[in-house]
Structure 1
Amino acid sequence: MTHQQNAHPTTSSSHSRQPIRAAAGSFLGTLIEWFDFYIYATASALIFSHVFFPGSSQFLGTLSSFATLAVGFLARPLGGIVFGHLGDRFGRKYSLILTLLLMGVSTVGIGLLPSYEQVGILAPILLVLLRICQGIAVGGEWGGAVLLASEHAPEGKRSFYASFAQLGSPAGLVLSLMVFRFISEMPEEAMYAWGWRLPFIGSVVLLLLAFVIRSRVNESPEFEAQAKAAKTEASPIRLVLRDSWPLVLLVMGACTIGISSAYFTNTFMIAYATQYLGIKSSMILECLSIVAVVQLINQPIAAWLADRVGAGRFLLITSGLSLFVPYLMFSLVSTGQSLMIILGISLTKVFSSAFYAVIAGYVVSVFPVSQRYSGISLAYQGCGALIGGTTPMIGTLIAGQSAGQWWPLALFYTALALISFVCVLLLMRRREAFAVAALR
């Protein structure tokens, strides 16, 4: 009897720590996934045109590298469908372990690839295949990480806890930029020959750490309750497409600025600053590293604030302000001074990263528990495929057509923010209509 009395507080204490473990596991898991994803994005801006597309002009080489980046985004909806189905049927935790393993194998494989000079056209083909595997892994990761954190969250703190999954993106960016900041200081011959491979191969250490931490997190209590209550016969993704496709489209549009901003400022801006403004790659990488730290600090504060003022209202404010900030950003970046570059990009990222931190927790409640992993994954990854992966390519084309003038690029960013603003507004009205109908 005494033993049972002593055991109960331990069990209770362990249960009370689960929200924190879930948030930490989501953060560390997405950190690893996004570190792997961002080192590819950074390498596509600085390295891959030389290693896998030699002989092309700088413009065509960069465009080809960004095209392989976009392929990963196109694969993300497939990952959302596959792992969303697994997560809705067998559990969030089970699905997330598989995404980690797939990302780790794919990323290390890229680091071991031969160059175009060694095996010819086979090199970029293998690069694309492994990039597709990366995209599938990230496509399954995001939805599960958001759900694991938000479904463990205490009452009234869903935005804050879900933001920890979003926090993995800027943390992974900081880590990837720090690594490439070091690599960019290497002699050029060594950097292109083997230096760029180090972060890809070394990511296996982070993978093992994330695997251990995530394995200690319990399954989502909301999923377990739903699984005990009923067993759905139809495929979750089929139910989403049959019953909730308008919501999928609205959530896709709502996520636009949160996703595209990251690849506009963190990937395209590297190529734009080095090619059109004559800024050294080491300098722009250092500036972006500082901006990423600003984002890392800003996101949890934004999520905490959104839980108090209302997530929908907060998303409208931040996407609305994002309509105007790119003009100031480009004016400051064009000075070529590091302090002005940091200030300009930071002003833009303060609003877009605040939006990014909150949108995850907001869209979780749009779909029922039994379809939630599939629904939010399909919407978010569909947006990533259409908007995120093509943003650096579109930016490159606009810059090429306008001879590097910045105002057409600022207009492009404004259009992305406008899509999110309108879709969030429509989601809010839809939720209000359902709430009124429920009271009748």
Structure 2
Amino acid sequence: MCGFIRFSQSSRAALAAFIGTTAEFYDFYTYATASALVLGDVFFPSNNHFVSTLASFATFAVGFIARPLSGAMFGHWGDKLGRKKMLLLTMFLMGVVTTGIGLLPPYSSIGIWAPVFLIVLRVLQGIAVGGEWGGAILMSSEHAPEGRKMFFASLPQMGSPAGLLLSLLAFRLVTSLDQSSFLSWGWRLPFLAGFAPLIVGMAIRFGVNESPEFVRMKAKKKIAKTPIHEVLKSHWHQILFAAAATTIGSAGFFFTNTFIISYATTYLLMPKSLILNCLFVVTVVQLVSQPISALLAERIGEARFLTGAAILSMFTPYPMFILINTGHPVAIVLGISFAVVVLSAIYAVVAGFMTYAFPPHLRYSGISIAYQLCVTIAGGTTPLIGTIIAQHYQGKWLPLAFFFSFLSSISLVGIMGLARLKSGKSHIALQLVSTADATLNARLEARKAKPARG
């Protein structure tokens, strides 16, 4: 009976993490897609489309600025008060903010206040996502059965492609409207629709127990007094390498799912519906491939799997751009899918890989700071940098491919560094065990050698 209950809570925690991250990433990708398609025209009108798009992507990047602070804040309280409370709070905040963006008046109505309010809401959105990721990973992995923690840690990562699918579907529907209707009210519908998954996600998360590892720590009074200070002081190496390891898994998505929309419609003159349809198919492929990648990594070893995937990812942008530039839908899907399957393999596995590089009482803080640091530096700026490169080298895709390869190489360095730190800890632990065994054996031998009394 206990085993059944434990399995039931494991499944429920994984489902709650998946539904919750799907709802939050739907909100996040809705903003990302809108920033590529429409927000520049609505909130930053200009005679120069490049300037409007750049301003729109700048607000997209602004949302990332709050994320390291948010990750540290929610990580701190998640390690002190529990994972579940933080997840409920971040989900509620995300839903309210996204609805607010959908109701925000345009520049033509309230002038400069429109972009000001947009930036404020975008920062709040970044704060919500900054606290969500780490808690979702921990609730799923710390509820997981023994031997399956790595796979269960990958399940919340599926919320990213699932949220993107819903977002792309929503925009596919509204972009079928005429341009005037789309600019005036159509683009708001995907934001307003984000309130529905919020309700579902909140209901499921209320039914999940607190993480058993946190409950045990609390019972044994092993809760850290100042988690942020402790993790920054004693585990800063892990934070830096973990942040680097997640680079392509984070920035790569914004490259292939946000920047590519702008690139295809602006420089290749593709219809919006064509690139959105192609990305929809690519995201279905990603959603299917991620759990397969996690299962494969469990079989061959996470470090080996991640290293191979990072090396392969460095070579994927070249065939991707060659196929995208053909303009043929099948070729576009194949090209982007190749890059996305590889980078999503890293994204799926690296969560669990970095989670267990930190001790339980500092885990929420450690992984949140690392991930949000990476997302802020690499993820938020990727569409912006890509737009600048594309504008400067118009008609040339090779500089964009080099940029993608560079992001992959950063992940490779981080994965190798984190693997070395983890193996070093294992080596030290084995040495301590060997020393203890040797000492115990020596004592036993000494007892046997003593002559019996009397």
User: What is the TM-score normalised by the length of structure 1?
Assistant: 0.96
Query: Equivalent of 1:145, from 136, 142, 150?
Result: 136
- Structure 2 partner of 1:120: 111
Q: Spell out the pairing of 1:89-104 with structure 2 (5 A cutoff).
A: 89-104=80-95
Which residue identity is paired with 2:208? Answer: V
Q: Is the partner of 1:17 in helix, strand or coil?
A: helix
Query: Equivalent of 1:72, from 63, 75, 79?
Result: 63
Give 4+ residue runs of structure 1 displaced > 4 Å after superposition. none
Which residue identity is paired with 1:26? Answer: A
**TM superposition shift of 1:134:** 0.5
- Structure 1 partner of 2:51: 60
- Structure 2 partner of 1:389: 380
**TM superposition shift of 1:230:** 2.1
- Structure 1 partner of 2:274: 283
Q: Spell out the pairing of 1:210-225 with structure 2 (5 A cutoff).
A: 210-225=201-216
- Structure 1 partner of 2:152: 161
- Structure 1 partner of 2:346: 355
Confirm or deny: 8 A CA contact 1:156 1:307 kept in the other structure. no
Which residue identity is paired with 2:44? Answer: F
- Structure 2 partner of 1:257: 248
Confirm or deny: 8 A CA contact 2:217 2:223 kept in the other structure. no
1:37-58 per-position Cα deviation (integer Å, ceiling 9, x unaligned): 0000000000101100112411
Which residue identity is paired with 1:127? Answer: L
Query: Equivalent of 1:376, from 358, 364, 367?
Result: 367
Confirm or deny: 8 A CA contact 2:80 2:225 kept in the other structure. no
Query: Equivalent of 2:356, from 365, 381, 384?
Result: 365
Q: Spell out the pairing of 1:221-232 with structure 2 (5 A cutoff).
A: 221-232=212-223
Query: Equivalent of 2:394, from 375, 379, 403?
Result: 403
Which residue identity is paired with 1:370? Answer: H
- Structure 1 partner of 2:439: none
Residues in 1 aligned to 2:199 and 2:369: alpha-carbon distance in whole angstroms: 27
Structure 1 window deviating more from structure 2 (106-115 vs 194-203): it is 194-203
Instruction: Report the structure number with the largest CA radius of gyration.
Output: 2
- Structure 1 partner of 2:97: 106
Q: Is the partner of 1:21 in helix, strand or coil?
A: helix
- Structure 2 partner of 1:171: 162
Confirm or deny: 8 A CA contact 2:83 2:139 kept in the other structure. yes
**1:269 aligned onto 2:260:** yes
1:268-302 per-position Cα deviation (integer Å, ceiling 9, x unaligned): 00000011111111100000000000000000010
Which residue identity is paired with 2:156? Answer: A
Residues in 1 aligned to 2:220 and 2:47: alpha-carbon distance in whole angstroms: 59
**TM superposition shift of 1:234:** 3.0
Which residue identity is paired with 1:366? Answer: A
**TM superposition shift of 1:437:** 1.5
Residues in 2 aligned to 1:361 and 1:433: alpha-carbon distance in whole angstroms: 18
1:332-362 per-position Cα deviation (integer Å, ceiling 9, x unaligned): 0000111100000000011001110000011
**TM superposition shift of 1:193:** 0.6
Q: Is the partner of 1:434 in helix, strand or coil?
A: helix
- Structure 2 partner of 1:420: 411
User: What is the TM-score normalised by the length of structure 2?
Assistant: 0.93
Identity score, percent: 52
Confirm or deny: 8 A CA contact 2:224 2:362 kept in the other structure. no
**1:201 aligned onto 2:211:** no
Residues in 2 aligned to 1:369 and 1:151: alpha-carbon distance in whole angstroms: 9
- Structure 1 partner of 2:423: 432
Structure 1 window deviating more from structure 2 (322-331 vs 155-164): it is 155-164
- Structure 2 partner of 1:6: none
Residues in 2 aligned to 1:410 and 1:281: alpha-carbon distance in whole angstroms: 22
- Structure 2 partner of 1:4: none
**1:328 aligned onto 2:308:** no
1:24-68 per-position Cα deviation (integer Å, ceiling 9, x unaligned): 000000000000000000000001011001124111111100000
Query: Equivalent of 1:236, from 227, 231, 234?
Result: 227
Which residue identity is paired with 1:177? Answer: L
**1:191 aligned onto 2:182:** yes
Confirm or deny: 8 A CA contact 1:274 1:281 kept in the other structure. yes
- Structure 1 partner of 2:11: 20
Query: Equivalent of 1:337, from 318, 321, 328?
Result: 328
Structure 1 window deviating more from structure 2 (114-123 vs 150-159): it is 150-159
Residues in 2 aligned to 1:427 and 1:392: alpha-carbon distance in whole angstroms: 27
Confirm or deny: 8 A CA contact 2:238 2:421 kept in the other structure. no
Give ranges in structure 2 of 5+ residues lacking alignment.
432-454
Residues in 1 aligned to 2:26 and 2:316: alpha-carbon distance in whole angstroms: 27
Residues in 2 aligned to 1:239 and 1:423: alpha-carbon distance in whole angstroms: 22
**TM superposition shift of 1:124:** 0.4
Residues in 1 aligned to 2:399 and 2:176: alpha-carbon distance in whole angstroms: 33
Confirm or deny: 8 A CA contact 2:80 2:224 kept in the other structure. no
1:351-396 per-position Cα deviation (integer Å, ceiling 9, x unaligned): 0011100000111101111110011000000100000000000000
- Structure 1 partner of 2:435: none
Q: How many residues were matched structurally?
A: 431
Q: Is the partner of 2:61 in helix, strand or coil?
A: helix
RMSD of the alignment, in Å?
Answer: 1.0
Residues in 1 aligned to 2:153 and 2:26: alpha-carbon distance in whole angstroms: 19
Which residue identity is paired with 2:286? Answer: Q
Residues in 1 aligned to 2:203 and 2:70: alpha-carbon distance in whole angstroms: 23
**1:131 aligned onto 2:152:** no
**1:45 aligned onto 2:32:** no
**TM superposition shift of 1:156:** 1.6
Which residue identity is paired with 1:264? Answer: F
Residues in 2 aligned to 1:298 and 1:405: alpha-carbon distance in whole angstroms: 31
Residues in 1 aligned to 2:147 and 2:395: alpha-carbon distance in whole angstroms: 47
Residues in 2 aligned to 1:365 and 1:249: alpha-carbon distance in whole angstroms: 15
Q: Is the partner of 1:257 in helix, strand or coil?
A: helix
